[in-house]
Structure 1
């Protein structure tokens, strides 16, 4: 019977979607079950994020391989003493807690495609003398909050096309298109207005298509995939007619965000507005779009958004990655099973014996932020924009605020006893007015009032809990 009967790594969900973003702290545990007393050399856990692309091409009789790799972070934490290779563990279940702060840097969201992937995962490794290393892995979904200057994308987009008809028709067509903005959230509606002047002899049908382009880069070569996400067809326009076509195209609620901050994988969206004309080239206007999280897209009215697991894309491929899904199926059933990519794994099995909860060296676990359900507990990192913004960054602020308890009421001082003047002037006193007011509404500003001592006001103190976790040493 092997000494190691169970070895796994798991993490604690930070929100209902089970996603993580820049600056979040991912916590979890490594569970090790032993059937007998065992000597262990090293036991550690790592958190890392990597992007990889890979494909092959045939040119004649030769096959060429293209691959690229980009590492975004790698953190390592020892669960047994690092300087000791003779650690004796007793029989039973051992649970080791760990904690990693995700770097506050611009990193792309989790992704899987036909020729590449962006994966964030936890990896635990157990080393023993004269034995093969035991490893356990668990992927987690990372959703990037890094965006360009979002306020520069809030202005309407305008485009136009003018086309002379060909051999099978006469006249020309003019189309002016306006889109309400350039950044949208998943589940939001794109408002499109097209003014069409059909000065030809043919019918034409306005069509509106949201497209997604994915480009993979490796060693100077590229692979490209394109998909139609949504399509709306308007009513045909008769010849010699001028008409306005309006379209409300809704983005799917589970559509993944744009990937604009990865050097080897890029996912972009375009809106294609064109006129379908029989036996003629279709005039079209293309608009670049950015799809972001509902929390980050300004003016989004979609409400709480769903999770954004890694997208699977279709098409035949000779890459080494698992076969993708059929085009058009955003999240196939194979990706929605517990433990599959982008979804939380099933809970660990329960054991009859009481596990021994252990921890690494003291002082390595930073204080944890409170759980945020349906939201994110860290601001988005500021991504430099080549164009700048007149409004400044929407995610940063130079001021901070905190809730304080109301201060106690100020001390009440008795009014000073002011002696009446020896002979007040008759022009300042009424004959019926008393010589002095026993309960003045304010202290009399005389010598006795100014000479009294001023007490030091009470001091207040406030404990500010810092949520900045300590950095773990990456080795």
Structure 2
């Protein structure tokens, strides 16, 4: 539907005469079609854009055109019962070395809901178990998946947006995450109802196993355009903290001296040639995970004192000069 509202009154027959030397302004209105519209989007293999084009046609003169881009946001409400329900999954992988069984690696994870908005924190509860002979590293990442559909062809583009990692897990041990968080940064809302484009998000919880493929656990996410529970609770917490006055805070007492380093490090933990895992390349597949550091011993730190030795030395030097 396309209508215009002239500021100049029309004639009796409804026509408007534009007289030379005068300025005329018209207010146009355009009603978007009912039903789901694709959200404005720009990606690697395509984009969804909306434009308003205005043309002025005059007899015996070239047509003048101008267009203006505008954004369309298809609302995604994350407060529906489906998106407020928890999401959980688990997976297990058997590890082998030269066709010889070498134990297994398992991961199970759960998040409290499926729908999130920008700035929300995703709380992850996960359990990892490693019974193989290798050191594994658990990680979690928010991944975007763009699916382009056109002319019977499909293109898929995936991108890792943010990532957190845990401590390495040695053979025969396990690790648990309880409330480990990863923040949802500024993202376009999920696009699920468009027949030419889909924008989906996943929380990947995976374990890097040296010499083998990762074990990947995917939990679906829906990024919405309306505030969710996490954002409201976060704003309430920030408001409460801002109302506190600094005069109500009690200064802590002077810290106690730390224990001696040699007293808290057992003798059996002072390795002559420790094996240090190479964890700088978190997503390497076949790169070696061990390096051998030169021999060293844990050296004790200097003794604890509340007096700065540098200040004392400077004062002694000044007294000697005087």
For the superposition of Structure 1 and Structure 2, which TM-score range results when normalised by the shorter chain?
Answer: 0.5 to 0.7
Could you report, residue by residue, the CA deviation over 1:38-93 in whole angstroms, capped at 9, with x for unpaired residues? xxxxxxxxxxxxxxxxxxxxxxxxxxxxxxxxxxxxx3224677x98884333243
Alignment partner, residue 142 of structure 2: 210
CA contact (8 A) 1:150 1:298 kept: no
Alignment of 1:170-189 (within 5 A): 170-189=102-121
Alignment partner, residue 242 of structure 1: 174
Distance in 1 between the 2:53 and 2:189 partners?
26
Alignment partner, residue 116 of structure 1: 46
Matching of residue 156 in structure 1 with residue 82 in structure 2: no
Shift of 1:233: 1.4
Matching of residue 76 in structure 1 with residue 2 in structure 2: yes
SS of residue in 2 equivalent to 1:279? coil
CA contact (8 A) 1:187 1:250 kept: yes
CA contact (8 A) 1:294 1:300 kept: no
Shift of 1:224: 1.7
SS of residue in 1 equivalent to 2:18? strand
Matching of residue 277 in structure 1 with residue 209 in structure 2: yes
Distance in 1 between the 2:66 and 2:50 partners?
14
CA contact (8 A) 2:18 2:24 kept: no
CA contact (8 A) 1:215 1:267 kept: yes
User: 1:245/1:299 Cα in 2 relative to 1: closer, same or farther (>3 Å)?
Assistant: closer
Distance in 1 between the 2:114 and 2:80 partners?
9
User: 1:278/1:119 Cα in 2 relative to 1: closer, same or farther (>3 Å)?
Assistant: same
User: 1:104/1:175 Cα in 2 relative to 1: closer, same or farther (>3 Å)?
Assistant: same
> Between Structure 1 and Structure 2, how many residues are aligned?
228
Distance in 1 between the 2:130 and 2:47 partners?
46
Matching of residue 136 in structure 1 with residue 75 in structure 2: no
CA contact (8 A) 2:2 2:29 kept: no
Distance in 1 between the 2:14 and 2:55 partners?
16
Gaps of 5+ in 1: 1-74, 304-475
CA contact (8 A) 1:162 1:174 kept: yes
Alignment partner, residue 243 of structure 2: none
Shift of 1:255: 1.2
Could you report, residue by residue, the CA deviation over 1:384-428 in whole angstroms, capped at 9, with x for unpaired residues? xxxxxxxxxxxxxxxxxxxxxxxxxxxxxxxxxxxxxxxxxxxxx
Shift of 1:271: 1.1
Shift of 1:293: 1.5
SS of residue in 1 equivalent to 2:38? coil
Shift of 1:258: 0.6
One of 287, 296, 321 as aligned partner of 2:219: 287
Tell me which protein shows more helix as a share of its residues.
Answer: 2
Distance in 1 between the 2:33 and 2:126 partners?
44
SS of residue in 2 equivalent to 1:259? coil
Could you report, residue by residue, the CA deviation over 1:182-237 in whole angstroms, capped at 9, with x for unpaired residues? 11111111111211111111111001111101111111101221111111111111
Distance in 2 between the 1:224 and 1:92 partners?
55
RMSD value, Cα: 2.7
SS of residue in 2 equivalent to 1:166? strand
Bigger RCO of structures 1 and 2 (CA < 8 A, at least 6 apart): 1
Alignment partner, residue 219 of structure 1: 151
User: 1:237/1:249 Cα in 2 relative to 1: closer, same or farther (>3 Å)?
Assistant: same
Distance in 2 between the 1:122 and 1:89 partners?
26
Alignment partner, residue 191 of structure 1: 123
CA contact (8 A) 2:76 2:225 kept: no
